[in-house]
Structure 1
Amino acid sequence: MKNKINLFNPRHPRHPRAIKTMKQRINLLIAFSVVALIVLSTVQCYLVKTTYDYKVAQFHTEIKNEIAQISNNYSDIDSVLVAKKEALYKSLSENYLQGKNSKIDIKNSIVKNEFSALLTQKIQRKFERELPNLKIDFAIVLNKYILYKNSKKADTIFCEKPFISNKLYGNLASLNNAFLVRNYVGTTNGTFENQDYSLLTEDSMYVSVIDWEMIILRRMTFILILSLLSILTLITLFVIAIKALIKQKKVSDVKTDFINNITHELKTPLATLGISTKILEQKNIRENDENFNAIVNTISRQNNRLQNLIDQVMANSLAENEIELQKEKIETEDFLLSIVNDFKITFPKINLKTDFQTQKTILVLDKFHLTTAFLNVLENAVKYGSKTITIKTRIIENQFSISIEDDGIGIEKNKQSLLFDKFYRVQQGNLHNTKGLGLGLYYVDQIVKAHQGSVKVVSDLGKGTEFTILLKV
């Protein structure tokens, strides 16, 4: 004996509890993927930042070495100016020892020396000559000025942190964006009142390379491109994976809806067949021909209904390129009128109107499949609350246009693109009479495509829907 599948078993994959568990797993997987993407992107950005810092340090080292070789001292730039500077320092020192100058006077005299502009120009030209690919601004600032006498302690006339206000030479206006290249310590020896003394000075050179950030970025071009491609690849794979998960979840939901719908559709004829069979077991029914024939007719109708349900599922499992059409030349307006007349008999309470702006249009069509397709659209309009339906025909850009407009409840914008998906059914409105298999509009789309035509829908919620079918003339 075969095991029966209980759709209401909590362990069955289509049970609501199992569906909820599956949705939770998908949501958990999406959340984990988002976290993983963020972590990987963060790591990638950290690696790029580390590489950037390394390139900056490497660049600074290169600049320091090159500039240090160019300006190790000032004598190779202009020995005359260097001699003048040493003479100035010696004169200021001896005046200080005589008490003629204060410490403030010495500082001001050094900072405002007369050869500052000329030495700045000479150093700048040397940078331009030796480093033509770099645009460099610089500043040389005085840090220390200390006198040493044999018989006394060191006399610190000047000792400060590097400040731009203590600039001796250069064109930098600030040290904020500059970096230290080298410190230069100079000594001057002299004799005052038969006593030897020594002068120690220390100055620092700071440089700023114009657009050094762009130089670093150019050096990192390859790394940045690889990092960007890696991040884009991760994001692309993530989006593809999420779309696949969402699509899988949607397919699962659609299959669940389909099973629920077909179960509902099958229950009614099966229940009727079961009741009819039990009635036939009664002797008085079998002996009454009228009642017997009525029950037999009921069984026959329900059997046909079951067969139609099975045929509908089988027919709609085909793609448009697998449908075999039996085409023939027909007068399209008469063909549509025959469908309208049959529909009025089935639904006499529906106000079905026609507005044909074409006459005697001959098309090569499959009457059987297109009849079913048009009836599916009309019955769908009735299911969703339509009381008035208008069928219009016209010629649009060498195509025969058939529009079916209703005054039903309409369809939300975000659901219109799903209307022609297999097994999809609009859930809005919560109307009891909208039971079905979700195959009607899918079948319409497949049949129209098999005729090399197209179908589109325009709808506003609460204002009705218009389906437009275009066929080749």
Structure 2
Amino acid sequence: MCKPVQSVKSVSYMKQRINLLIAFSVAALIVLSAVQCYLVKTTYDYKVAQFHTQIKNEIAQISNNYSDIDSVLVSRKETLYTNLSEKYFQGKKSKTDIKNGILENEYRSALTAEIQRKFERDLPNFKIDFAIVLNKFILYQNTKKADTIFSEKPFIQNKLYGNLASLNHAFLVRNYVGTTNGTFKNQDYKLLTEDSMYVSVIDWEMIILRRMAFVLVLSLFSILTLITLFVIALKALIKQKKVSDVKTDFINNITHELKTPLATLGISTKILEQKNIRDNDESFNSIVNTISRQNNRLQSLIDQVMANSLAENEIELQKEKIETEVFLQTIVNDFKIGYPKIHIQTHFETQKTNLVLDKFHLTTALLNVLENAVKYGSNTITIKTKQIEDQFSISIEDDGIGISKNKQALLFEKFYRVEQGNLHNTKGLGLGLYYVAQIVKAHQGSVNVISDLGKGARFTILLKV
């Protein structure tokens, strides 16, 4: 029987709604993650700027000039600058010679070592490499126009002293502007120089990351929380969709199952209204028997739904000690009466095994498995028993159409029915195997299935001995 149009529309609407919610959730997660990353990047940039400012301030406290580092070396530096300036005035030195003379100064190594020691002494928490580069060397003589001997952007090639090999990962700490007044041949002149100090703190990235540890952990926790909530919400949506599909299938199935006996009862009631039927005892009894059977069928459907509303820990078992092989043979004999065309084989590897079981519920559970095999195309059923350590094994193997691997995990779920090929039209409420699982669990046992599509199925029930 086909599903009602309204149910199909409802399922379609639910799928669209879930897909829309998933798309919205993914978009929201991406946006929130992007915002989180932006905030972390902004914080990182702020921490880097803050770190640079700290280094600048601490170096500024160490020295405002080189005079307090080594006055002799500074004096030699000023003397060199004066000599080079006078030789330039005399025409003995070109601008290139002046530049080379400054950069190849003899106090380069000594002054580098002095500054390095001062950093190590006054800034013990940081390992600092530095370079002081020459930017400008300009002479002013009387009122003449300034004579620019040298003026360039900071380059490591113009390093006066220091141990840095590159300025790529270094940052500017400060500029040193110096002026020197002198007299050459009774003419006053002024020398303007500009040096820049660049420093690079070894492992500065790790220092920044350690200072950002709380922010990073909090951000990571936030992102993981968002992802976790997204996954939980996604699982809930998928579960809701499955529940909705199951509910729709159950309503359609129960409607289908109820319509047949109700229609039969309606027709039988109308037939009984005919006088000729009432006067014919044989016809009358036949109709009454039909009504009785359909009434029993309705009652059976209602009882099945009610019984399966209980969990395994809510089922009240009436246990008694029974000889299991005799119990199973009785079930087989009764089943043969109802299904004479089905060939049933028994291979009991155990004898006189006494177990404490609920005969009524376990009989119903085993009959559900047998009827399920017939329902899904089986002609031959084999029942085997054996003892595996402290467990009693009952296996029911059939030659039906089998079950695909991806469907097997759902077999024992409430209301689940395999919809594959022509099985969509198979009658049932999807409660039989669920009931089997609940009864076996109530006996502290387990049930599993092994099957391949087109190769039948084997259900194994394990009970404690």
Q: Which residue of 2 aligns with 1:275?
A: 267
Could you list the runs of 5+ residues in structure 2 that have no partner in the other structure? Answer: none
State the distance in 2 between where 1:410 and 1:63 align.
75
Tell me if the contact between 2:405 and 2:452 (Cα under 8 Å) persists in the aligned partners.
yes
SS across alignment from 1:431:
helix
Q: 2:72 aligns with which of 80, 85, 99?
A: 80
Match of 2:464 among 466, 469, 472: 472
Indicate the larger mover: 303-312 or 415-424.
415-424
1:237 aligns with 2:213: no
Aligned partner of 1:404 in structure 2 is 396
2:186 maps to 1:191:
no
Q: C-alpha separation between the residues in 1 aligned to 2:431 and 2:329?
A: 25
The question of whether the paired residues in 1 share the 8 Å contact of 2:385 and 2:393 is answered with: yes
Q: Quick check: 1:398–1:472 contact (8 Å CA) kept in 2?
A: yes
Match status 1:223 vs 2:221: no
CA distance in 1 between partners of 2:249 and 2:463 (Å): 32
List aligned pairs for 1:108-257, cutoff 5 A. 108-257=100-249
Return the alpha-carbon distance in structure 2 between the equivalents of residues 168 and 351 of structure 1. 103
Deviations 1:91-145 (A, max 9, x none): 1111111111111111112112222112111111111111111111111111011
What is aligned with 2:317? 325
Identity of aligned residues (%): 84
User: Cα–Cα, structure 1 residues 352 and 268, in superposed 2: closer, same or farther, change >3 Å?
Assistant: same
Aligned residue pairs, count: 463
Paired with 2:208 and 2:389, the residues of 1 have a C-alpha distance of 59
Q: Aligned partners of 1:100, 1:242: CA distance in 2, in Å?
A: 84
Q: Which moved more, 1:154-163 or 1:77-86?
A: 77-86
Residue 301 of structure 2: aligned partner:
309
1:317-396 equivalences in 2 (<5 Å): 317-396=309-388
Amino acid at match of 1:287: D
More divergent stretch after superposition (281-290 vs 312-321): 281-290
Tell me the distance in 1 between the aligned counterparts of 2:37 and 2:453: 47
CA distance, structure 2, for counterparts of residue 91 and residue 450 of structure 1: 105
- How many angstroms apart in 2 are the aligned matches of 1:335 and 1:123? 98
Q: Secondary structure at the match of 2:429?
A: coil
- Say whether the 8 Å CA contact 1:409–1:429 is kept in structure 2: no
SS at match of 1:404: strand
> C-alpha separation between the residues in 1 aligned to 2:400 and 2:180?
103
Q: Deviations over 1:265-309 (max 9, x none)?
A: 111112222222233333333333333322222222112111111
Measure the CA separation in 2 of the matches of 1:204 and 1:372: 93
Cα displacement (A) at 1:9: 8.4
Corresponding position of 1:426: 418
Q: How much has 1:8 moved relative to structure 2?
A: 5.7
Would you say the 8 A contact 2:418–2:424 is kept in 1? no
Q: Distance in 1 between matches of 2:127 and 2:296?
A: 92
- Spell out, residue by residue over 1:422-463, the C-alpha distance to the aligned partner (whole angstroms, 9 max, x if none): 111121233255221011011111111111111122333333
User: Are the structure 2 counterparts of residues 386 and 173 from structure 1 closer, same or farther at C-alpha, using a change threshold of 3 Å?
Assistant: farther
Q: What code does the residue aligned with 1:248 have?
A: Q
Give the deviation of 1:364 after TM superposition. 0.4
Cα deviation code 1:372-396 (max 9, x no counterpart): 1011112112222233322222222
How much has 1:405 moved relative to structure 2? 2.3
Are the equivalent residues in 2 in contact too, given 1:387–1:408 (CA < 8 A)?
yes
User: Which stretch has the larger CA shift, 288-297 or 392-401?
Assistant: 288-297
The answer to whether the 8 A contact 1:454-1:469 is kept is yes
Unaligned stretches of 5+ residues in structure 1: 1-6
Query: CA separation in 1, counterparts of 2:361 and 2:223?
Result: 50
Which amino acid in 2 is paired with 1:311?
A: D
* Selected match of 1:444 from 416, 436, 440: 436
> In 1, are the aligned partners of 2:136 and 2:192 still within 8 Å (CA)?
yes
Greater shift in the superposed pair: 130-139 or 84-93: 84-93
CA distance in 1, matches of 2:71, 2:401: 97
**Normalising by the residue count of structure 1, what TM-score does the alignment of the two structures yield?**
0.93
Compute the displacement of 1:29 (Å): 2.5
Separation in structure 2 between the aligned mates of residue 412 and residue 178 of structure 1, nearest angstrom? 65
Q: What CA deviation, in whole Å up to 9, does each residue of 1:141-183 have, x standing for no partner? A: 1101111101421111110000111111111111111100000
Q: How does 1:27-42 map to 2 (within 5 A)?
A: 27-42=19-34
Aligned residue for 1:258?
Answer: 250
Q: Is this contact kept in 2: 1:388–1:407, CA < 8 A?
A: yes
Aligned AA (1:382): V
Aligned residues of 2:139 and 2:189 also touching (Cα < 8 A): yes
The 1:186–1:326 alpha-carbon spacing in structure 2 relative to 1, beyond 3 Å, is same
SS at match of 2:444: coil
SS of equivalent residue, structure 2 residue 207? helix
* Alpha-carbon offset, residue 403 of structure 1: 1.8
SS in 1 for 2:407: helix
- Larger CA deviation: 362-371 vs 373-382: 373-382
The more displaced of 414-423 and 357-366 is 414-423
1:383–1:433: 8 Å Cα contact kept in structure 2? no
**Separation (CA, whole Å) in 2 of partners of 1:90 and 1:386:** 111
Q: Take 1:369 and 1:302, find their aligned partners in 2: how far apart are those partners? A: 23
Match of residue 3 from structure 1: none
Bigger Cα displacement from structure 2, 460-469 vs 314-323: 460-469
Number of the residue aligned with 1:97: 89
Q: Give the AA of the match of 2:257.
A: E
Q: Give distance in 2, aligned partners of 1:396 and 1:173.
A: 76
Question: In angstroms, what is the RMSD of aligned CA positions?
Answer: 1.9
Bigger shift: 284-293 or 316-325? Answer: 284-293
Determine the C-alpha separation between the residues in 1 that align with 2:59 and 2:428: 84
Tell me, in whole angstroms, the C-alpha distance in 1 between the residues paired with 2:85 and 2:43: 50
| TM-score of the superposed pair, with normalisation by structure 2 | 0.95
